[in-house]
Amino acid sequence: MPKRPVNPLRLLDLPRWADQEPSWTQADPALIEAATERALARPAGGWVVVCGSREIAPTFGRTVAGREIVVWRTASGELRAGPGACPHLGAALCDAPVVGENLVCRWHGLPLGRDWGTYPVHDDGVLAWVRLDALGEPPLDAPVLGPRPPAGGVPAVATVIGRCEPRDVLANRLDPWHGSWFHPYSFAQLRVLAAPRPGAAEPEDRFLVEVGFRVAGRLGVPVKAEFSCPDPRTVTMEIVDGEGTGSVVETHATPLGPGPDGAPRTAVIEAVVAYSDRPGFGHAAKVAAVLRPLMRTAAARLWRDDIAYAERRYTLRSR
């Protein structure tokens, strides 16, 4: 087994943007659409990501599929979720205080506990999920989760909202060929080593990509990553070779409902879980509070571009 270099950074080949090898001949629209359709056909069981686990402090409100939802953590640490409007006179519960195990309405003090129309919930340690049976999907006891690194990873969650549908977010992620063209500040030397065949089934239904993550100037970290879809609203990128093997970037597309213009809105909730088996990574985990904002900023920068891609795709589809 070759010895791993002490320094993971490498000098990347950075041609001028216009001098890159065009990728449009490989980015077959039919292939991307077929991969998107296969992802959309996977079971979700009614589960949607509402927010990052750390965002519940102690309550968090969001509209999902046109329904107001509030999630909260009880005094004992249990995660709960329910309708975002008080059943008495409709007060918003997103900022209601938690008293013991109950959410207490600020208007008239109505305590709302486990016996009040709550939804099934799941906390995977990074994200908070809620099951909405009103979506009409055959229910599952728990969400379908993709790969995650071993314990000790550093998680961060960023959210961007776009004028599009979840399928447009998936299609963006299932087009890895755009990486170094559309995001030259983050990616270099991107090559798609394998793409799924038409009708591919698990475990072949995934993309394998070789790419250099830029750090500073020409310095970067070359890795190989796999893109796959565990459910119809999620794309997972897992580093499978190179520095940070086991790290994942999960892109979750949560439908919010129509915006003021009547067009759909989708929350892109991206969870990054950084991991390394290097002994020194333990020190990074100790300063996770410093790393998380940096990781969120990097994810949000990418999605400022990618949400424009998804929104453009929705605009073209809806004409």
- pLDDT higher than 80, residue 127: yes
Q: What is the pLDDT of residues 4-60, one digit of tens each?
A: 666 677 888 888 999 999 999 999 999 999 999 999 999 999 999 999 999 999 999
- pLDDT digits 0-9 by tens, 213-269: 888 888 888 999 999 999 999 999 999 999 899 999 999 999 999 999 999 999 999
Tokens coding 94: 């997103």
Q: What is the CA radius of gyration of the chain?
A: 21
Residue 221: its H or E element: strand 219-231
Q: Are strands 47-52 and 219-231 parallel, antiparallel or unpaired?
A: unpaired
In order of 50, 133, 187, 242, the CA distances from 270 in angstroms are 11, 23, 18, 22
- pLDDT of residue 78 exceeding 60, the answer is yes
Q: Specify whether the CB–CB gap between 179 and 190 falls below 8 A.
A: yes
Count of Cβ atoms closer than 10 Å to residue 256 Cβ: 18
User: How is residue 100 annotated by DSSP?
Assistant: T
pLDDT of residue 202: 83
Picking from 10, 292, 310, 316, the residue whose alpha carbon sits closest to that of residue 161 is 310
By C-alpha distance, which of 51, 81, 79 is closest to 271?
51
Q: Which helix (H) or strand (E) is 38 found in, with range?
A: helix 29-40
**CATH superfamily, with its number, for domain 10-44+144-317:** START domain (3.30.530.20)
Counts for the chain of helices (H) and strands (E), in that order: 5, 17
What is residue 16's predicted lDDT score, i.e. its pLDDT?
92
The residues spanned by each domain of the chain are 10-44+144-317, 47-135
Number of neighbouring beta carbons within 10 Å of residue 90? 13
Give this prediction's pTM: 0.93
To 5 degrees, how large is the angle CA 95–CA 253–CA 297? Answer: 75
- Banded pLDDT at 166 (limits 50, 70, 90): very high
Looking at the DSSP assignment, which residues form a beta bridge with residue 235? 251
Q: Quote the distance between the C-alpha of residue 18 and its chain's center.
A: 30
CB 124 within 8 A of CB 145: yes
Domains 10-44+144-317 and 47-135 share a fold: no
Give mean pLDDT, residues 293-305.
87
For the segment 112-139, the average pLDDT, to the nearest whole number, is: 95
Q: Is 217 exposed, middle or buried (0-12, 13-18, 19+ CB in 10 A)?
A: exposed
| CATH for 47-135, options being 3.90.550.10, 2.102.10.10, 1.20.1260.10, 3.40.50.280 | 2.102.10.10
> What confidence tens digit (pLDDT) does each residue in 88-112 have?
999 999 999 999 999 999 999 999 9
